[in-house]
Structure formats: C-alpha cells, structure tokens
Structure 1
Amino acid sequence: MAADIYNVLFLCTGNSARSIIAEAILNREGMGRFKAYSAGSHPKDAVHPYTLDLLDGLNFDTSFARSKSWEEFTAPDAPVMDFVFTVCDQAAAEACPVWPGQPMSAHWGVPDPAAAEGNEAFRRLAFSDTFRMLNNRISIFTSLPLSSLDSLSLQKHLDEIGQKTDHANPSEPA
C-alpha cells in the first residue's frame, strides 16, 4: 500500500445516502491523499434528495453523486481499491455486500437515514446524524499514519473506527 493516493470504496445497499455522504466527505477531507468512490449492492434509481440537500447545504460538490452498482468497480479497467468500507446497518438485519480481492476492509455500519420514519424534520435529522457519524470516522481514518502501520495494526485501527459508538442520544448531554 505504497500509493501516493489511496482508492477507497464505500459500499452499502442502495447507494443513495450513506455511501454517497461518505464519498463526499472523504473526497473533501482526504486532502488529495484519497480518492473515494461509492456503490451499492442493490442501487436505487437515484440519490436520495435529502442526501443532496444536506451536502449542497454544506457546500459539497454533488456533481459526482449518482446511485450505481458495485459491479462498476469489478470491471478490468476499474480503479484498484486500497480500502473498502461497508456502511450498511447489520444491526437492522441489512445485508452488506462483500468485496472480492485483497483491499483492507472494515465494517463501519451506520443506520440508514433513508429508512427513518416520522415528520420531515426528524427524517432530515437522521441524514445529519449520518453525516456526523461518517465525518467522525473518516476524520479518524485520514489521521492514521498509513505508511507507518503494518497490516495487522492498520486492520485493528480500521475495525476500531467501525466500532465507535457515536450515535447521538438526545436524552444524554453531549
């Protein structure tokens, strides 16, 4: 993993919210060290409009955003991935896609904001929470000294990032 730029793929089921948000965050926060992509095992017809509203409101470029199948990244001319992170929510019995090959991988499960129920404000809050959780994890990831970590240490760090319990609980103080 001696690349100057690390390719990172975020996978989820629908590729309409979580993985798109993660792609946007890493492409901005990765400061040229990372190139992020996203895909889904069963992509939706379009990116969720609340995803686009949230990212646009935070001044992210959303011109890249489209819901696509992970099969696009299995083609012979596709970029070789250094990291693959699944962001689907196994706790909600959601099936996570499995990536073939040997990239470093970890599960960074986040509840699906597109599945949130309630009034519009509550559903939009779910997207904001997803952004916050992924932003926290990606910030930790981009701070890792990748070139100085051996594979086992790096894998341990990646797994620990995914186990962060950073879900907001409105009944507890921040």
Structure 2
Amino acid sequence: MNILFLCTGNSCRSIIAEATFNHLAPTGMQAMSAGSQPTGEVHPRSIALLKSKGIATKGYYSKSWDNLPMTPDIVITVCSNAAGETCPAYLGDVMRAHWGVEDPAKATGSDVQIQDSFEQAYRLLRARIEAFLQLDPSILNDRRALQTRLQAIGQSES
C-alpha cells in the first residue's frame, strides 16, 4: 500500500508525515510526499525535528506531484483549511482523506514558539499515522470502511 502525503510546498508537513510514516510502517506499506507547488527545499527545522526523534532523513526532498515514483493508493492532504489554505486536488482514481495541520513554516514569534509549532505538527501527524497503522488489517480491503476511518482520523486532535 502506497500513501501520498500532499500539500502545496512539500517542505514541512508532508515531509514530516512521509518520514514518520516510513519510520513506523510495517513491510508492505510505504509513504511518499509531494507538493502541487514545491518550494524545492525541505525546511531545516523539519530535518532537525525528525533527527531529534530518531527518524532517518536521508533521501527526503521537496518534489512535485508530477514526479512520483509510483501511483498512490491513498492521498492524504495535510494543508490547513482553517488557515485559509487551498488544498491541492490530486487527480486520479485514488482514495482521498484530509488531515489538516497548521503550517509550522509560517509560524511567527520567538524561536521557542516557532519550534513549538513544528513539535505540534509532528505530534498531530504522528498520532494520526499511529491511529492509521493500528487499524484492523481487514479494513484495508473494505474501501468504504477505510474511507470512513481515514476521515475520522483526520478529525482527531490528539
């Protein structure tokens, strides 16, 4: 099963989700990330955060959804509608879900406040990824049930 974490810039949230998913996922599941308008670089705080959590960062880079190595089975957008962001609409016959997360790259304030924004994005994405990975494997073959669970996971704030 291939999961695509998608946002606009592919510099923070989708990269954090991709690396975290791949760190936690069992064999046979893989994540990738992309952006509709990639910035071309991964935010340095994203790399530092992942390293601090013991998550490998080698090979992760900001890329366009036009250059995916494979077709995803599930596309999860991570942009924040609450912040007025427009989520890119992936074209293709795939299951879609939205797991909105505020963009830590746009955080302002002190260095501590900005770092807290990155930590908060990581905690929320990790909790949602863990919830996905804890689903009963039988649900992965039930498209309607899986869609419902993916949407419910995206609504969780823990």
TM-score range, shorter chain: over 0.9
SS in 2 for 1:136: helix
Matched residues in 1 for 2:67 and 2:81: separation? 24
User: Aligned pair 1:150/2:145, yes or no?
Assistant: no
Amino acid at match of 1:89: S
Matched residues in 1 for 2:91 and 2:138: separation? 23
**Residue 97 (structure 1) aligns with:** 88
User: Aligned pair 1:44/2:28, yes or no?
Assistant: no
Deviation at 1:65, TM superposition (A): 1.5
Identity of aligned residues (%): 45
Matched residues in 1 for 2:12 and 2:60: separation? 10
Matched residues in 2 for 1:13 and 1:122: separation? 23
Matched residues in 2 for 1:59 and 1:45: separation? 24
- Structure 2 unaligned spans of 5+: none
User: Is 1:146–1:154's contact at 8 Å kept on the other side of the alignment?
Assistant: no
- Deviation string, structure 1 residues 32-79 (Cα, Å, up to 9, x no partner): 231110001111131001001101111211112211111112xxxx31
- Residues 19-98 of structure 1 mapped to structure 2, 5 A cutoff: 19-73=14-68, 78-98=69-89
Picking from 119, 129, 148, the partner of 1:128 is: 119
Picking from 143, 155, 158, the partner of 1:163 is: 155
**Residue 172 (structure 1) aligns with:** none
- Structure 1 unaligned spans of 5+: 1-5, 167-174
104 and 146 in structure 1: CA distance in 2 versus 1, 3 angstrom threshold: farther
**Residue 171 (structure 1) aligns with:** none
Deviation at 1:30, TM superposition (A): 0.6
Which runs of at least 4 in structure 1 moved beyond 3 Å after TM superposition?
146-149
Matched residues in 1 for 2:92 and 2:136: separation? 23
TM-score by length of 1: 0.86
If each structure's helix is expressed as a fraction of its own residues, which one has the higher value?
Answer: 2
Q: How many residue pairs get matched?
A: 157
**Residue 11 (structure 1) aligns with:** 6
Matched residues in 2 for 1:45 and 1:28: separation? 23
Matched residues in 2 for 1:147 and 1:104: separation? 17
Which is higher, the Rg of structure 1 or of structure 2? 1
Amino acid at match of 2:128: R
Matched residues in 1 for 2:155 and 2:31: separation? 21
Deviation at 1:146, TM superposition (A): 3.8
- Deviation string, structure 1 residues 140-163 (Cα, Å, up to 9, x no partner): 101112434521111110100111
